[in-house]
Structure 1
Amino acid sequence: MQIIIVGCGKVGRTLAEQLQEEDTDLTLIDISADKINSISDDIDALYVIGNGASINTLMEAGIETADLLIAVTASDELNLLCCLIAQKTGHCHTIARVRNPIYSDEISFIKERLGVTMIINPELAAAQEIYRLLRFPSAIKIDTFARGRVELLKFKVLPEFGLDGMQISRFADTFRCDILICAIESRSGMAIPGGNHVIHDGDMVSILATPQNAAMFFKKIGLKTHQVKNTIIVGGGTISYYLAKALLSMKINVKIIEQNKERCEVLSDLLPNATIINGDGTSKPLLMSEGLADVESFVALTNFDEENVFLSLFAKSISDGKLVAKVNRLAFDDVIDSLEIGSVIYPKYITADHILQYVRAMRNSIGSNVETLYHILDGKAEALEFVIRENCPVLGKTLSELNLKKNLLVGCLHRNGMVRIPRGQDTIQIGDTVIIVTTNKGLCDISDILDR
């Protein structure tokens, strides 16, 4: 597959790093020679210095034979123009990053009338992820499948849960909840576990379940399952706007601390039910006076990763609330994870996962489509959702009869509105939604789960 990426910023680079592992021919376009030079040694691609909205630049990049153009520059309008010209010049699919809330109600028009295949809004996607976490604060990370009917939740095993030394095979009888433990991160490494795997305190455990079964399981081990009642958000950017709007719709009290007075006035007009505070969100006296010690959740969304990390560390020292920090540029993921500052949101990875999901769907065979894709276990594994559309090799046999690849779990079956954790005698049928968790990269079709 031939793919052109316009824009070599954070998202463009992250996307290129992932797509170069997908058996694709990449061409990267950026108007800045410095950005091109900074990534040319790390990513195997063709590079074109120029304006991605220029017909000549696109022709030089091979738009006439390209399968997909992805525009992720800093300008929404430039991204849309790149896609429009690409479609008039070639015959490719197009994806545009569009961030401005002004366009959020016009997505259907943009897709239908301008012909843009997919619109991705990183800020909205990040806000939606944070919103899910504040509705279910026990989880460190929540990913959704089957239009919200199935969730992949990660939590840390604490001594008070009484799980230390328990084999996974005992969970069903002990807790009588229909959940599947599908991934474990521990000091000894990361794994997609079997029934004999033993849980230890300090492990990061990911489970697949319906929201109801997940809540039942967390309640039985003593974790809070109710949404927060209030939150303090530091930083008044676009993510904060989207997040506050969603939280207010659920009757959650919202305070936003923003240093720019003009932005505070805009937010006051857009969010009349939120409390907007003009001040320095890194000021300890201000945070304390606004009730940080007693707040049920704290979200750090400034434009500086270091500030977000340190603000979360400070909040952790004085508060028992749910903590969320946004990180855009810092590359030390393992160090950040070791700080245990709650949930860390990486908008560039969220965007890349959405686009990679679409690329996989374009490459699939006729049997099934990749509907959803998430990278888990620090990118070492994937959780994918397939919709079975036509006859394929996995039909007509029980799961125990299928020759599945190693390090792969069939996590959930969604059929006719019902969700179940599959057992060995279950079968996959046309119309099913199937969730797969695996360390095998590059699955594009449900038949790829077979070890041929």
Structure 2
Amino acid sequence: MKIIIVGCGKVGDALADQLSAEGNDVTVVDRRYAAVEALSNEYDIMGIVGSGTDHSVLEEAGVEKADLLIAVTGSDELNLLCCLIAKKAGNCQTIARVRNPEFNREIAYIQEELGLALVINPEFAASVEIARILRFPSAIEISPFAKGRAEVLKFRVSESSVLDHMMVSEITTKLHCNEVLVCTVERGDEAIIPDGNFMMREKDVVSIVASPKRASQFFKKIKVQTNQVKDALIIGGGKVSFYLAKQLLSMGIDVKIIEKDRERCEKLSELLPRATIICGDGVDQALLMEEGLMKSDSLVTLMNMDEENILLSLFARNKRNKMKIITKINSITFDEVINKLDLDSIIYPKYVTAEHIVRFVRAMKNSIGSNVETLHHLVGNKVEALEFCIRENAPVLNIPLEKLRLKEGLLIGCINRSGTIITPKGQDMLMMGDTVVVITTNKGLNDISDILKE
């Protein structure tokens, strides 16, 4: 596919990386020469210096033959205008990043009236991820599938856990959790899709796939907390904080926000009358203690500086081990270092946004059998969990799973059949209308047929 990305910021970088790696013909456009040069050199893609609202610039980028234009500049209005011009100039599909909370209320109307294929709000998407984790604080990460009927939940095996030195197959025989499937294990820098004989150990990061009800039962059996937090202390009062606070308050969770900009505090007080807004520096240790750090169920660090978010999270972990801590990271790319820190849950808004867009791109590239309905990256970018909808011409129809010639490094996680979640066994078959979750280390699967060996 020929794809034009307008905007070479953090999201543009993440998209250029993933979309070019999947074999798409990618061109980036930005007014900043240095940003265009950096991305075009790093990912061996074409770069154009200029404005995405300039018709001649879009022509030079190849808009007339483009399949998709993605506008992810820092301006919502610029992004929407880029998409309008692209549709007129090339009649291609368009995606716009729109971040303003005022626009967010009218997102469906904007998408329909402007004929956009997709509108994505990174801050709102990140807040949804955070709220989902605070609902189930023992999980490091939660990825929903089948419209929320199934979830992939990531958690760490603790020192005293019953799972320490237990084989994967024993989850069924010893814990009697037949409807829970272990799909990935992270051990150090290694990402493993385990078989039944794989033995879990302390400090492993394990991902399971199950319905929310079955997952809750499983965590109770291994004596892990399943209740949502009672309160949240949010550091930083930006857009993510606003969206998150609205969701948490609707869930019955008490919210306290610490923000050092007085004008922003006054605005948040108007927008969130049920939240407690504190004007102060979120990295002031005395202020944190005074505002109840030692009593809070959870801490969410959402400041603009990644370094401050990381250090504050480490400080809180050192002070209170039983608190749920979520850290937002925007741009730091030292993944190996970050993964070795005791940071609990980490949210990368740029990757959340990229996932939504990559899923859409793969659905566009789909052949006969099935669309990519949902896509989540697990274990950084080493493992993908994808949900496919099975159509009548799919080559996997009505064949027992044990007879399918599946690629290595691939696992069928669950089947959604008319709202019923099935944990697959060898004799189970995929039927027309099912959706199926596939967990794999193979990158770039676009269609259900791609799970089969050639």
TM-score for the superposition, normalised by structure 1? 0.99
Once structures 1 and 2 are overlaid, which stretch shifts more, 164-173 or 46-55?
Answer: 164-173
2:224 paired residue number: 223
Are residue 264 (structure 1) and residue 283 (structure 2) matched?
Answer: no
Deviation sequence 1:386-410 (CA, Å, 0-9, x none): 0113221101210011111111000
Q: CA deviation at 1:39?
A: 2.2
Tell me which amino acid in the other structure corresponds to 2:438. Answer: I
2:207 paired residue number: 206
Once structures 1 and 2 are overlaid, which stretch shifts more, 335-344 or 301-310?
Answer: 335-344
**How do 1:6-405 residues align onto structure 2 when only pairs under 5 Å count?**
6-177=6-177, 178-187=179-188, 189-319=190-320, 320-405=322-407
State how far apart, in whole Å, the 2-side matches of 1:43 and 1:158 are.
39
Q: CA deviation at 1:271?
A: 0.3
Deviation sequence 1:144-188 (CA, Å, 0-9, x none): 111111111110001221222211111112122211100001137
Q: Secondary structure at the match of 2:128?
A: helix
Residue pair 2:39, 2:45 contacting (<8 A) in 1 also:
no
Q: Secondary structure at the match of 1:385?
A: strand
Deviation sequence 1:30-53 (CA, Å, 0-9, x none): 000011122232112111100001
Q: Secondary structure at the match of 2:26?
A: strand
What is the count of residue pairs matched by the alignment? Answer: 452
State how far apart, in whole Å, the 2-side matches of 1:44 and 1:37 are.
10
Deviation sequence 1:289-310 (CA, Å, 0-9, x none): 0110110000000000000001
Q: CA deviation at 1:372?
A: 0.7
Residue pair 2:37, 2:47 contacting (<8 A) in 1 also:
no
Q: Secondary structure at the match of 2:374?
A: strand
Residue pair 1:298, 1:323 contacting (<8 A) in 2 also:
yes
State how far apart, in whole Å, the 2-side matches of 1:414 and 1:183 are.
20
Tell me which amino acid in the other structure corresponds to 2:343. Answer: I
State how far apart, in whole Å, the 2-side matches of 1:75 and 1:298 are.
30
Residue pair 1:14, 1:349 contacting (<8 A) in 2 also:
yes
State how far apart, in whole Å, the 2-side matches of 1:250 and 1:265 are.
24
Residue pair 2:181, 2:423 contacting (<8 A) in 1 also:
yes
Q: Secondary structure at the match of 1:18?
A: helix
Once structures 1 and 2 are overlaid, which stretch shifts more, 278-287 or 35-44?
Answer: 35-44
Residue pair 1:4, 1:66 contacting (<8 A) in 2 also:
yes
Tell me which amino acid in the other structure corresponds to 2:218. Answer: F
State how far apart, in whole Å, the 2-side matches of 1:18 and 1:441 are.
10
| Structure 1: runs of 5+ lacking an equivalent | none
State how far apart, in whole Å, the 2-side matches of 1:84 and 1:39 are.
25
Deviation sequence 1:287-334 (CA, Å, 0-9, x none): 000110110000000000000001101111112210001001111112
Q: Secondary structure at the match of 1:386?
A: strand
Q: Secondary structure at the match of 1:277?
A: strand
TM-score for the superposition, normalised by structure 2? 0.98
Residue pair 1:64, 1:91 contacting (<8 A) in 2 also:
yes
Q: Secondary structure at the match of 1:108?
A: helix
2:432 paired residue number: 430
State how far apart, in whole Å, the 2-side matches of 1:134 and 1:108 are.
27
Q: Secondary structure at the match of 1:155?
A: strand
Residue pair 1:235, 1:258 contacting (<8 A) in 2 also:
yes
Tell me which amino acid in the other structure corresponds to 2:25. Answer: D
Q: Secondary structure at the match of 1:36?
A: helix
Q: Secondary structure at the match of 2:265?
A: helix
Tell me which amino acid in the other structure corresponds to 2:28. Answer: L
Q: Secondary structure at the match of 1:368?
A: coil
Residue pair 1:99, 1:122 contacting (<8 A) in 2 also:
yes
Q: 1:286 to 1:113 in 2, by over 3 A?
A: same
State how far apart, in whole Å, the 2-side matches of 1:230 and 1:102 are.
27
State how far apart, in whole Å, the 1-side matches of 2:341 and 2:159 are.
19
Q: Secondary structure at the match of 1:196?
A: coil
Tell me which amino acid in the other structure corresponds to 1:29. Answer: V
Residue pair 1:26, 1:44 contacting (<8 A) in 2 also:
no
Tell me which amino acid in the other structure corresponds to 1:272. Answer: P
Flag as ranges the 4+ runs of structure 1 deviating above 4 A: none
Q: Secondary structure at the match of 2:169?
A: helix
| Structure 2: runs of 5+ lacking an equivalent | none
Q: Secondary structure at the match of 2:371?
A: strand
